[in-house]
Amino acid sequence: MRATFLGTGGSVPTKKRNLPSFAIRTNGGLVMFDCGEGTQRQFLIAKLGFNREMKILISHMHADHILGLPGLLHSMSFMGRSRGLEIYGPAGIADFVECTTETVRFRSLFPVRTIEARAGTVARTESYSIEAAWADHGVPCLSYALVENDKPGRFHPSKARKLGIQKGPLWKTLQMGKPVRVGRRRIDPSKVVGPPRKGLKITYAIDTRPCDRIVQLAMGSDLLVHDGMFASNAFDRAQEFGHSTAAEAATVAKRSRSKNLVLTHLSAIYADTKQLLVEAKKIFPKTSVAEDLKSLELP
Ligand SMILES: [Zn+2]
Ligand SMILES: [Zn+2]
């Protein structure tokens, strides 16, 4: 999996930061969270590919998270996208997509399906599922977790050969976790295949006060991307506008036993985010600050 930050600013863009969007490339296609204005250009620079299998998950209907959608859809159509696209979000997402495509007089040349999402399992594919929980932001706002399915254990060809199983369909059967017969012997997959490998989990919780629902959603995440808009001395502002301080984000990472935390939706008042990082790292050392167009490779 490769995770790319397309926009890491909050509320308004800055010279350095576009509005929020975060994309993950998985075996099963592309999953993109939020689509702030200008996302399509970042998408192009990050070479994410306009005709991939793709789902877009919108956290909430605030302008900085959705205004990039009409432009992205238009460009995808213009570039010849043919695959369908699914867009998930809280109530209002379907009206927004329908209204903009009608009033802007643009007809998508590929099918677009909008799905109004709620807390719980939002989508399930062969390679991952997406879970959602309500954030705490004053308007309906969803946090999402992408949970990769567990993968079969590692197959050991040398062990198979030692047991007299030659390369071929029997190997595949064992890899799929089913026993095989060689002559009179029954061979269990555990003899040649290691234990199942846990899938990755990435949680995206943006525009929110720290809350228990997100701690539960993010439990055991390999990567937690969390609203870390303000430093601790701006706690009042974080509380007033339904955001988190970097230290609060770090507490969510710690409580959810996440492995890594990335702070995003950073306020335009911080040209330098060092203070945010220092405050978060005191609570959760494995913290970093998101930067536009930076990617993380998740093994
Ligand atoms: Zn926002
Ligand atoms: Zn918001």
pLDDT digits (tens, 9 = 90+) for 245-274: 999 999 999 999 999 999 999 999 998 999
User: Under a CB-based contact definition with an 8 Å cutoff, are residues 150 and 126 in contact?
Assistant: no
Q: What's the gap in Å between 271 CA and the centre of ligand 2?
A: 21
* Nearest ligand to the CA atom of 19: 1
Q: Give pLDDT tens digits for 270-299.
A: 989 999 999 999 999 999 999 999 999 998
Q: How far is CA 187 from the centre of its chain?
A: 39
Task: Give pLDDT, residue 182.
Answer: 87
**First and final C-alpha spacing in the chain:** 7
CA 59 to ligand 2 centroid distance, Å: 8
Residue 299: predicted pLDDT? 80
Residues, Cβ < 5 Å to ion ligand 1:
64, 207
Please state, in angstroms and rounded to a whole number, the distance separating the CA atoms of residues 23 and 33: 6
- Ligand 2 midpoint to CA 226 (Å): 13
Taking the CA of 265 as reference, the closest ligand is 1
**137 C-alpha vs ligand 1 centroid, how far in Å?**
10
Secondary structure of 67-110 as H, E, C letters: CCHHHHHHHHHHCCCCCCEEEEECCCHHHHHHHHHHHCCCCCCC
* For the CA of 268, the nearest ligand: 1
| Centroid of ligand 1 to alpha carbon of 43 (angstroms) | 19
Q: What integer pLDDT is reported at residue 135 of this predicted model?
A: 98
pLDDT tens sequence across 14-55: 999 999 999 999 987 999 999 999 999 999 999 999 999 999
* Distance (Å) from CA 65 to ligand 1 centroid: 6
Ligand closest in space to the Cα of 141? 2
The CA distance from 164 to 112, in Å, is 52
pTM here is: 0.91
Ion ligand 2: residues, CB within 5 A, are: 62, 207
The catalytic position among 34, 64, 207, 227 is: 64
DSSP assignment of the chain, as one string?
A: -EEEEEE-B-SS--SS-PSPEEEEEETTEEEEE---TTHHHHHHHTT--TTS-EEEE-----HHHHTTHHHHHHHHHHTT--S-EEEEESTTHHHHHHHHHHHTT---SS-EEEEE--SEEEEE-SSEEEEEEE--SSS--EEEEEEEPPBPPPB-HHHHHHTTPPSSHHHHHHHTT--EEETTEEE-GGGTB-PPBPPPEEEEE-S----HHHHHHHTT-SEEEEE--B-GGGHHHHHHHT--BHHHHHHHHHHTT-S-EEEESB-TT-S--HHHHHHHHHH-SSEEE--TT-EEE--
Is residue 64 part of the annotated active site? The answer reads: yes
